[in-house]
Amino acid sequence: MGILQTLFGDDAAVLYERDFQLLLLASLSSPLGASVVSPILEGLTGPLGVSSARAGLLMAVFTAPAIVLIPLVGVLSDRVGRKPVLTGGLLLFGLAGLAVTLTTDFRSVLGLRFLQGVGYTGIAPVLITSVGDIFADDADAEASAQGLRFTAVGVSLTVFPVLSGALVVLAWQYPFYLYGLAVPTALVVWALFEEPTAADAVGPNGADAGHADDADKPVRDGSTRALLSLTTHPRVAATLVGRAVPSFLWFVFLTYNSVVVVRFLGGSAGVAGLLVAAASVASSVSSTQSGRITAAFDTRVVPMFASTTAIGAGVLALVFAPSTLVAGVGVVFAGAGFGLGLTLYRSALTGSAPVELRGGLVSLGESAGRLGSTVAPVLTGAVVAVAAPTLGPVDSVRWGVVGVVAAAVLVGVVSVAVVDRFDAPARSRAGTSTAD
């Protein structure tokens, strides 16, 4: 374990947990919904007989279901178990993606993309929750595991867009065959994944011995009323609000990266792609170090605050960069802050709920993130449009981005301050608190 320990510290042992390895495998599929289609949208206009604007709906119909369905799927995973939901999500996601190759009717493709979006809601949130289940008794190991899972996502985000762009040259259908990865993954998860049982959830000292009759059953007795009550706790509510901030800032970057590189700096789309890749690598690297970083502080508040300001500063460095080199430095800061911040917020949510409510709370967090991702380009575009007649095309983008980034960072800072102010709610099964 020498090399792994050098890279990831004492918590490298999490990589030898079989169930966690299965979650890493499933994590390769979770980001494919956007990353496979985004690079080939323009190439789909001909085969599907639509304009570029209408082709963009292929992204919108995929992301839309998550805002509403993720919380419901989270509650479902608490009730029926993680494995059935994860397996079903992977199968629906993969099969719907493969089915796109069978038609050129745009409405049918939109419907299949919508089904993929439904399938996605059973993948990413359940993966995050399951990591929390496995490492419920070790907060540092859980933070490291969440970071390593995010690294697997980063690897997928680096590799599959390149494959998609290469395959579309051969035929427009070929990139959609990449979704086939989710199908065998679902079968492997169903055959080998073992959910933590109620006995596992109570910790090493058997604090919940009174539930011995249920010790061999996955915990799945969360209630909607209890979940809603949990979200009214100030610390939990602030964490949910703060969870939207990294996603919001990240999508501001993704939306305006190419505008800055091509229009302001005279670069190419290829250069813009390299900056996205650099940010993704920085995000992956920082997420792997989340366990070490949290262990270095008495509280998670400091790294949470630092991650939020790093993303904001990185985005501002991009839009005001005098050269692509400076822009590259900015996006590395943004990526590093995003990877760390996303991991810390997800870990904070998994640690704020008893095991029977964890899936529902994590799913609410993911919905908050999706909401931030959806609002970011719309809000920023509206601000830029309003400012354009007065400031001109360049300064309207720069100062419009400044305005929305400053507002988002302020929301993030206030959220972190509230998290620091209040202790975590009691965790009913473990009988412990996760106060930092």
Angle, helix 234-258 to helix 324-350, in steps of 10 degrees:
160
Is the model's pLDDT at 61 over the cut of 60?
yes
Is the model's pLDDT at 427 over the cut of 80?
no
pLDDT at 212: 38
| Count of domains observed in the chain | 2
Q: Calculate the dihedral angle through the C-alpha atoms of 135, 141, 146, 147, rounding to the nearest 10 degrees.
A: -170
Whether 209 is in a domain gets the answer: no
Is the model's pLDDT at 309 over the cut of 60?
yes
Minimum mean pLDDT among 52-61, 190-199, 298-307: which range? 52-61
Domain that holds residue 230: 221-422
Are 238 and 264 contained in the same domain? yes
CA distance 65 to 77: 17
Task: Answer with the residue of higher pLDDT: 311 or 284.
Answer: 311
Task: Answer with the residue of higher pLDDT: 97 or 433.
Answer: 97
pLDDT tens for 235-274 read 889 889 999 999 889 878 876 776 777 678 887 655 666 7
Are 4 and 87 contained in the same domain? yes
Of 153, 168, 203, the one marking the end of a domain is 203
CATH code of 258's domain: 1.20.1250.20
Residue in 237, 227, 239, 238 with CA at minimum distance from that of residue 358: 227
Share of the chain above pLDDT 70, in %: 82
Are 137 and 235 contained in the same domain? no
Are 186 and 331 contained in the same domain? no
Mean pLDDT, the chain, rounded, equals: 79
Whether 178 is in a domain gets the answer: yes
Please identify which residue in the block is written with the tokens 């320990």. 5
Whether 428 is in a domain gets the answer: no
Are 134 and 235 contained in the same domain? no
Are 105 and 11 contained in the same domain? yes
Residue 299 in tokens: 């509280």
Whether 435 is in a domain gets the answer: no
Are 264 and 176 contained in the same domain? no
Are 174 and 123 contained in the same domain? yes
Are 199 and 226 contained in the same domain? no
Of 203, 231, 253, the one marking the end of a domain is 203
